[in-house]
Every structure is written in structure tokens, then in C-alpha cells.
């Protein structure tokens, strides 16, 4: 279980040399095996929150704990998938996937066996010895996902992993991710700016306010799992999307009024 309590974070604004708050008392609990999507206005602090969960950034105040243990840095219980793939350009698919295992001292035979299994799980059979520049964006993101899964984390942290992909590739990867989650039941925290994606994937959606971010609302996605391919046609899917869009529009309207004042 992930427990975030009164989490605050600010960064130094290089222009004004003053402290710019990003997170303003975020409270959130994520249950084991749950798929939680984090949604909010652009620049509201979604990625900062995810990086705090990953142990890459320390909060200024508040607490973050996993299974009762404070998060003080990165750990093998968490795997992270980035939007920009972050692959090693000089390493082939097998080497990229097994890189984290190599850092942990796992033997070559076990590393390669685990990488091969994941290559087939994410649909990259036949591309084992291709290098990142030889792969499409969608294929590179499959490698990034397999690399995160290779260390067998309890929690998968995903930072807009499909945001840079075309709609067809994005839809295919969403369906693949849903299938993987159904099989391994890992806890997933998935940051996205897409309302459609949040409703399609999540068990719950955490809606953040504009910066400095707080939790405005947590929406339960009461849609069936496994998600049917025509889930977007379900009346409940449409209703959830409209509700979230209304909340986001209200935030944007309020921000515009504040800027005007």
C-alpha cells in the first residue's frame, strides 16, 4: 500500500529566485494491485508527485510510505516508465531490458532468460538484437515497459508513457498494458493528461488542482474488468469523461479569472 500524507514540494524559480510551490498538501492512499491514474492540468505537479514516489525527489514536508516503510530513495520495489523512453542507444533490446538486473548483480543467464520472456510478453519477438534507433516509438516504449518489469517490482510508476505516440500505437499499448495488469496485478500509478486514457485504464482517477496541486477529487471508475474493446461506447464511460472534463474546465476558468485579477 502507498500512503502519501500532507506532501508538499516547492522548487526555486530561476527567474524570480523565489520558492515556487508545486505540491500543496497532497493526501492519497493507493491500495495493493490497484491501477490509479493521476490527472490534472498541464504543469500542475503530476510528474513531481510520481518522482517523489519513485524516490528521485524528496518532499519538503509530509510523508510518503510504501507498506509502512518511508520512501527515502529509489528501490527495487518500484519500476518507472518514462515518456521519453530513456533507453541506452548503444545497447540492443535484450541489453536494455536486462540493464537493471545487471546493476543488481543478477547473473547473465538469468538476466537474458528474464529479458527473453518479457520480450515475448510485450510483443517484441524477433527484435531482440535491434538497437533503439532501429525501433519505432511504440516499440521503444515496449522496451521501456519490459525493462521496468524485469526487476519484478511491486509497483509500476508510469509518467505519461504513451503521450508522445500516435493514437493508433497509443491505443494498442493501452490494451497491452491492461492485459499485462490483468495477468500480474501489480500496483500501477499512471500519470496522464488524457481524460480518455485515464477512464480507459484506471480503477480510480486522482484529479489534481492547478499548481500548487492538491487532490480535488478521486473518481472511482466503475467499469468492468477486463475492459471490453468497445468500452468507450459504454454510457458510463461517456459520463465519467464528461464529469472529468467539466471539472478540468472549471479549473481552467477559475485560473483565467485569477490571472485576469
pLDDT the model gives residue 51: 95
DSSP 228: P
Peptide bond into 226 cis (omega under 30): yes
> Is residue 106 a contact partner of residue 67, using CB atoms and an 8 Å limit?
no
* Exposed e or buried b per residue across 29-65, where buried means at least 16 C-beta atoms within 10 angstroms of its C-beta: ebeeebbbbbbbbeebbbbbbbbbbbbebebeebebe
pLDDT the model gives residue 2: 97
pLDDT the model gives residue 254: 67
Peptide bond into 53 cis (omega under 30): no
- Could you name the CATH architecture of 1-77+153-247? 3-Layer(aba) Sandwich (3.40)
Which residues 6+ apart lie within 8 Å of 51 measured at CB?
A: 57, 159
Profile the chain (261 residues) by mean pLDDT over runs of 10 residues. 96 81 95 96 91 95 95 91 86 92 87 91 91 92 91 92 86 90 92 95 96 94 92 95 93 58 36
pTM: 0.90
pLDDT the model gives residue 166: 85
Which residues 6+ apart lie within 8 Å of 172 measured at CB?
A: 138
pLDDT the model gives residue 255: 59
Domain ranges of the chain: 1-77+153-247, 87-152
pLDDT the model gives residue 259: 45
Amino acid at each position: 500500500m502507498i500512503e502519501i500524507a500532507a506532501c508538499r514540494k516547492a522548487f526555486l524559480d530561476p527567474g524570480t529566485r523565489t520558492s515556487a510551490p508545486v505540491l500543496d498538501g497532497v493526501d492519497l492512499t493507493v491500495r495493493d494491485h490497484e491501477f490509479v491514474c493521476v490527472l490534472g492540468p498541464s504543469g500542475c505537479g503530476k510528474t513531481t508527485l510520481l518522482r517523489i514516489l519513485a524516490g528521485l525527489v524528496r518532499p519538503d514536508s509530509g510523508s510518503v510510505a510504501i507498506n509502512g516503510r518511508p520512501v527515502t530513495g529509489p528501490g527495487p520495489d518500484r519500476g518507472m516508465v518514462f515518456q521519453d523512453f530513456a533507453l541506452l542507444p548503444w545497447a540492443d533490446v535484450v541489453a536494455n531490458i536486462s540493464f537493471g538486473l545487471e546493476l543488481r548483480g543478477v547473473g547473465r543467464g538469468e538476466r537474458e532468460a528474464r529479458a527473453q520472456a518479457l520480450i515475448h510478453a510485450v510483443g517484441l519477438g524477433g527484435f531482440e538484437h535491434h538497437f533503439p534507433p532501429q525501433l519505432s516509438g511504440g516499440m521503444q516504449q515496449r522496451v521501456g515497459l519490459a525493462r521496468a518489469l524485469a526487476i519484478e517490482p511491486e509497483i509500476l510508476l508510469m509518467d505519461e508513457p504513451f503521450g508522445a505516440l500516435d493514437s493508433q500505437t497509443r491505443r494498442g499499448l493501452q490494451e497491452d498494458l491492461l492485459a499485462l495488469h490483468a495477468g500480474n496485478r501489480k500496483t500501477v500509478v499512471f500519470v496522464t493528461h488524457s481524460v480518455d486514457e485515464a477512464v480507459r485504464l484506471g480503477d480510480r482517477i486522482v484529479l489534481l488542482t492547478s499548481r500548487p496541486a492538491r487532490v480535488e477529487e478521486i473518481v472511482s471508475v466503475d467499469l468492468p474488468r477486463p475492459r471490453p474493446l468497445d468500452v468507450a461506447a459504454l454510457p458510463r464511460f461517456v459520463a465519467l469523461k464528461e464529469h472529468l472534463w467539466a471539472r478540468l474546465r472549471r479549473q481552467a476558468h477559475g485560473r483565467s479569472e485569477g490571472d485576469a485579477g
